[in-house]
Structure 1
Amino acid sequence: MADTLVRTERSVAGTRRGAAAPRRRGRFVPLLYVAPALVFYGLFVIAPWLHSFWISFWNWNGIGAATWAGLSNYTAVFEEPALRAALTHAFGFIVFYTVVPVILGLILAALTSAVPWRAMPVIRTIIFLPQILPLVAVGVVWKWIYGEDGPLNQVLRAIGLGSLARAWLGDFTYAFPAVGLIGTWVSTGLCFLLLLSGIGKIEPSLYEAARLDGCGRLREFWHITVPGLRKEIGVACNVTVISALAGFDVVYVMTGGGPGYSTMVPGVQVYQLVFTAGRVGTACALATVLSLITCAAMYGLNRLSRER
Structure 2
Amino acid sequence: MTAATEPRARHGRTGRRAGRAWRGYLYVLPAAAVYLAFAVLPALHTAYLSLFEWDGVTLGEWAGLRNYREVFADPALRGAVVNALVLVVFFALLPILAGLVMTGLLCLPRSSIGGAGSRGRGRGLGVYRLLFMLPQVVPLVAVGVTWRWLYGEDGLINETLGGIGLGGWARAWLGDFDWALVAVGLVGTWVLSGLCMMLFLAGVHKIDPQLYEAARLDGAGPVREFVSVTLPQLRGELAVALTVTTVAALASFDIVYVTTGGGPGEETTVPGLLVYKLAFSDGKVGLASALGVVLSLLILVLVYVINRLSRTERT
TM-score, L = length of structure 2: 0.92
Residue 33 of structure 1 is matched in structure 2 by 27
C-alpha contact 1:110 1:196 (8 A) present in aligned 2: no
> Which residue of structure 1 aligns with residue 307 of structure 2?
302
Please state if 1:188 is matched with 2:182.
Answer: no
- Count of residue correspondences: 302
Following superposition, the deviation at residue 302 of structure 1 comes to 2.1
The one-letter code matched in structure 2 to 1:82 is A
1:262-299: CA deviation from partner (whole Å, max 9, x where unpaired): 11111100010011111100000001111111122222
Pairing of 1:125-140 with structure 2 (within 5 A): 125-140=130-145
- Report what 2:68 is aligned to: 74
1:250 aligns with 2:255: yes
1:143-200 deviation line (CA, Å, top 9, x unaligned) = 1111112121122122221211111111111000000000000000111111011111
The match for 2:113 is none
Greater alpha carbon shift after TM alignment, 56-65 vs 230-239: 230-239
- 1:47 partnered with 2:41: yes
Structure 1 unmatched runs, 5+: 1-7
Q: Do the aligned residues in 2 keep the contact of 1:74 with 1:286 (CA within 8 Å)?
A: yes
Aligned-partner SS, 1:282:
helix
Q: Which residue of 1 aligns with 2:119?
A: none
Structure 2 contact 108–222 (Cα < 8 Å) conserved: no
Give the deviation of 1:96 after TM superposition: 0.7
Give me the whole-angstrom Cα distance separating, in 1, the residues matched to 2:19 and 2:170: 70
Question: Cα offset for 1:136?
Answer: 0.5
- The CA distance in 1 between the partners of 2:7 and 2:205, in whole Å, is 52
Alignment of 1:79-118 (within 5 A): 79-116=73-110, 117-118=122-123
Q: Which amino acid aligns with 1:114?
A: L
Q: Which of these residues, 208, 216, 220, is aligned with residue 215 of structure 1? A: 220
Larger of the two Rg values belongs to structure: 1
The percent identity for this pair of structures is 50
Distance 1:106 1:152 in 2: 26
Q: How does 1:194-273 map to 2 (within 5 A)?
A: 194-273=199-278
Q: 1:114 is paired with a residue of what secondary structure?
A: coil
Task: Find the residue that maps to 2:107 and give its secondary structure.
Answer: helix
Partner SS for 1:82: helix
Paired with 1:224 and 1:103, the residues of 2 have a C-alpha distance of 17
Rounded to whole Å, the distance in 2 between the matches of 1:25 and 1:101 is: 47
1:66-90 CA-partner distances (Å, limit 9, x unpaired)? 1111101011111111111111111
